[in-house]
Amino acid sequence: MQMDSDSQAINCLLPGERLDDLQRNELLIIQNPERFCFGMDAVLLSGFARVKPGESVLDLGTGTGIVPILLEAKTPGIHFTGLEIQEESADMARRSVLLNHQQDKIDIVTGDIREASKIFGTSSFPVVTSNPPYMIAEHGLQNPSYARAVARHEVLCTLDDVVREASRVLTPGGRFYMIHRPFRLAEIVLALSSHHLELKRLRMVYPYVDKEPTMVLIEAIKYARPRVTVDPPLIIWNSPNEYTDEMKNDYGY
């Protein structure tokens, strides 16, 4: 039986692709290092997002499907949809879903974040997640790989595009979860407010306890009243080779 499973995994790979173990529920994911591989941010987002029993989730810019795959394993949500504009990444995501036998609970749709509300309709999801590109054109050098540039820089969509479409597809009272960079927090709050999303919870992520935060986790609610809860800092590393207890216990590292 194990040999059949291993053969299935190997046969689903295309040239340049590899199979990575997610260290949770025997889940696997197909990735191509020449394009883009998921990072710590996607794992943190999947742990921060709260999905209740019976809720459906839309992940904007899903890449190879890491967030829906992890949310399906971690939460009691009923269904998960990933929207991805790059067909090669969407194809890897679909094959990973099939490989993990999650096809009854996860759909991968090829499409543009800027058209999400047209694709799915308004007020169609109670929960939306996104790990969007962090950098605008002026922030550093763009990667010569187009796939990596799209994932890291606002080449095909802007922060405002992501927030606008998240708000449109959310039901009233629906929740939006995003991970981003702290240096853009002021922009993020303005974008949320302009699209009827109220910042309700945030958590700063630090690589080490004595370093500056490198990521910020955000929960916003559509049409909510102003009130923000700041969660305790999330520290990733005790030392270069040792994760903190929270990372070990809550995130499986």
Quick one: which of 174, 175, 176, 180 has its CA closest to 154? 180
Query: How would CATH label the architecture of 39-251?
Result: 3-Layer(aba) Sandwich (3.40)
The 10s digit of each residue's pLDDT in 1-21 is 444 555 555 568 999 999 999
Count, in order, helices (H) and strands (E) of the chain.
Answer: 9, 13
Confidence of residue 46 (pLDDT cuts 50, 70, 90): very high
Confidence of residue 151 (pLDDT cuts 50, 70, 90): very low
Q: Are residues 168 and 176 in contact, defined by beta-carbon separation less than 8 angstroms?
A: no
The domain segmentation of the chain, as residue ranges, is 39-251
For the chain, how big is the Rg over CA atoms in Å? 18
Distances in Å between the alpha carbon of 215 and those of 233, 234, 251?
A: 11, 10, 16
Average pLDDT on 198-227 reads 97
Distances in Å between the alpha carbon of 180 and those of 74, 142, 187, 189, 235?
A: 21, 18, 11, 12, 16
CA angle 110, 45, 51 (to 5 degrees): 85
Is the whole model's pTM more than 0.85, yes or no? Answer: yes
The 10s digit of each residue's pLDDT in 117-143 is 999 999 999 999 999 987 665 545 444
The per-residue pLDDT for 24 is 86
Please determine, for residue 109, whether its predicted confidence score (pLDDT) is greater than 60.
yes
